[in-house]
Amino acid sequence: MESVVVGIGIGTMNHEYKATSTITIKGILSLLMESVGENNNNKDDNESKRVISLGMGDPTLSTFFPNTKVTEEAVADSLHSGKFHGYAPTAGLLQARNAIAKYLSNDLPYELSSDDVFITCGCTQAIDVSVALLARPGANILLPRPGFPIYELSAAFRQVEVRHYDLLPERGWEVDLDSIEALADQNTVALVIINPGNPCGNVYTYHHLEKIAKTAKRLGTIVIADEVYGHLAFGDNPFVPMGVFGSIVPVLTLGSLSKRWIVPGWRLGWFVTSDPSGTFRKPKVVERIKKYFDLLGGPATFIQAAVPRIITQTEEVFFRKTIDNLRHTADICCQEIEDIPCISSPCKPQGSMAMMVELNLSLLEDISDDIDFCFKLAKEESVIILPGTAVGLKDWIRITFAADPSALREALGLCLLLKMVAFFLPHYTTKED
């Protein structure tokens, strides 16, 4: 009897260990914050430095990225109406599902219906729902590297094997389609793409997305399109939703209000079947999705009730301003990076709120890798930047540019060029000499 219990225990615990050992962005950032804290605790108030964080993708931490009054009024009115204190249907309030279906259909060659839309707690829950629904013994999922570690975490809890394909820095972080062909097999349940991309700032062309769709079709797998940064594109390539290719391959579109409306704390997201050929409309599939949603509590009902107004009444000028601001802060990053010898970026970001930057370790002494770099930066200079290891790329760093221009300049320019002289530039000059 005891051996049976132990056997079950070991099997379960292995998976628990796998999940708990998965790196998360929040986990690493909180360790970095602790190391700032340790250093500042040893100083008096005059000496302790202002902490600058370019680590979190939360635009509300910066006054440069305000939200719009329309969204706040919509939520306040919905709350004060007193009509939305009760439970919402588990798939979400019908008016919110309708509004999201209409919003997404604007960019598609077909119409989505409310039946295609399920409301989730942010895009995070939409990710977890997707992985949970696709999980089955032996299943594997193809994830981008670098990527967004919530996918790995969710897969570890669901016992889904992760296979990474590479994004190609020299090609604007496009998907390495050849590597996908080599990775996939009959147990591959989905290919995940993130567009516009975190952590790379990529925005894929129509042509590249079409190739991804055709590759997935050939491999007999669906595409999960993480479009949490949908429409946040400020470079040459316009944002094209993956759902445009829904008639080539079934697509699950994941998104939220978090980034485009700058309200990540409202936890309003969506899981959408962008699939005009009806693969997800088979009665058994629909039942499975619906049953799974019966397990979940969605976002607060009054937030859901505000969605139609938020979507239809937000002015274009607000969206344009956010895009202009992101372009501006991304440009600042790129300019500052050009002046810093030990880091370089392979291409300019075209969208989202983050970019990847490569460390040149040969110009750095006493820095062993990206993690060491970020911990020293936090400890010595009170600047928080995410090590690339957290998103799957060692000896790179991820910079979030949804930040105040002055904070960006200070963190990148002053810190790396002047304050970090102590541990960078002397070695740089000696080595060059």
Ligand X SMILES: Cc1ncc(COP(=O)(O)O)c(C=O)c1O
Q: Does 123 bind ligand X (CB under 6 A)?
A: yes
User: Nearest distance from residue 424's CB to ligand X, in Å?
Assistant: 30
Task: Give me the amino acid identity at 236.
Answer: D
Of 241, 269, 276, 351, the residue at the interface with ligand X (CB under 6 A) is 269
d(CA 184, CA 216): 9
Size of the site for ligand X (CB under 6 A): 13
Q: Are 130 and 254 in contact (CB under 8 A)?
A: yes
Of 55, 92, 122, 250, the residue at the interface with ligand X (CB under 6 A) is 122
Query: What's 24's DSSP letter?
Result: -
Site string for ligand X, 35-74 (x = CB under 6 A): ----------------------x-----------------
The 3-state DSSP composition of the chain as helix, strand, coil percent (nearest 5) reads: 50, 15, 35
Of 258, 314, 329, 389, the residue at the interface with ligand X (CB under 6 A) is 258
Q: Is 126 or 216 the residue whose CB approaches ligand X more closely?
A: 126
Q: Is 251 or 420 the residue whose CB approaches ligand X more closely?
A: 251
d(CA 72, CA 306): 9
Give the residue from 416, 313, 385 showing the smallest Cα distance to 29: 385
Q: Is 246 or 264 the residue whose CB approaches ligand X more closely?
A: 264
Q: Are 127 and 147 in contact (CB under 8 A)?
A: no
| Sequence-separated (6 or more) residues with CB below 8 Å from residue 116 | 101, 272, 273, 274, 275, 280
User: Nearest distance from residue 199's CB to ligand X, in Å?
Assistant: 8
User: Nearest distance from residue 413's CB to ligand X, in Å?
Assistant: 26
Query: CB neighbours (10 Å) of residue 406?
Result: 11
User: Nearest distance from residue 365's CB to ligand X, in Å?
Assistant: 34
Site for ligand X in 373-432 (CB under 6 A): none
In terms of phi and psi (left: phi > 0; alpha: psi -120 to 50; beta: otherwise), the region of 145 is beta
Which residue of the chain is nearest ligand X when measured via CB? 122
Site for ligand X in 92-121 (CB under 6 A): none
Q: Does 264 bind ligand X (CB under 6 A)?
A: yes
User: Nearest distance from residue 353's CB to ligand X, in Å?
Assistant: 8
User: Nearest distance from residue 101's CB to ligand X, in Å?
Assistant: 18
Of 65, 103, 118, 148, the residue at the interface with ligand X (CB under 6 A) is 148
Q: Does 194 bind ligand X (CB under 6 A)?
A: yes
Of 226, 336, 358, 410, the residue at the interface with ligand X (CB under 6 A) is 226
**What burial class does residue 23 get, using C-beta atoms within 10 Å of its C-beta: 0-12 exposed, 13-18 middle, 19+ buried?**
middle
Give the residue from 79, 126, 82 showing the smallest Cα distance to 100: 126
Hey, what are 296's tokens?
Answer: 């979940």
User: Nearest distance from residue 350's CB to ligand X, in Å?
Assistant: 15
Query: What's 247's DSSP letter?
Result: T
Residue with tokens 């009444």: 313
Q: Does 276 bind ligand X (CB under 6 A)?
A: no
Stretch that binds ligand X, among 172-180, 183-191, 256-264, 305-313 (CB under 6 A): 256-264
Q: Does 154 bind ligand X (CB under 6 A)?
A: no
Query: What's 141's DSSP letter?
Result: E
User: Nearest distance from residue 108's CB to ligand X, in Å?
Assistant: 20
Task: Give me the amino acid identity at 403.
Answer: A
Hey, what are 51's tokens?
Answer: 């902490």
Query: CB neighbours (10 Å) of residue 316?
Result: 7
3-state secondary structure of 201: coil
Q: Is 264 or 387 the residue whose CB approaches ligand X more closely?
A: 264
Q: Does 198 bind ligand X (CB under 6 A)?
A: yes
Q: Are 41 and 172 in contact (CB under 8 A)?
A: no
Q: Does 228 bind ligand X (CB under 6 A)?
A: yes
Q: Does 253 bind ligand X (CB under 6 A)?
A: no
Q: Does 124 bind ligand X (CB under 6 A)?
A: yes
Give the residue from 254, 231, 232 showing the smallest Cα distance to 243: 254
Give CA angle at 126 (122, 128), nearest 5°: 115
User: Nearest distance from residue 239's CB to ligand X, in Å?
Assistant: 14
Q: Is 256 or 345 the residue whose CB approaches ligand X more closely?
A: 256
Query: CB neighbours (10 Å) of residue 10?
Result: 9
User: Nearest distance from residue 357's CB to ligand X, in Å?
Assistant: 17
Q: Is 98 or 256 the residue whose CB approaches ligand X more closely?
A: 256
User: Nearest distance from residue 402's CB to ligand X, in Å?
Assistant: 10
Binding site for ligand X (CB under 6 A): 57, 122-124, 148, 194, 198, 226, 228, 256, 258, 264, 269
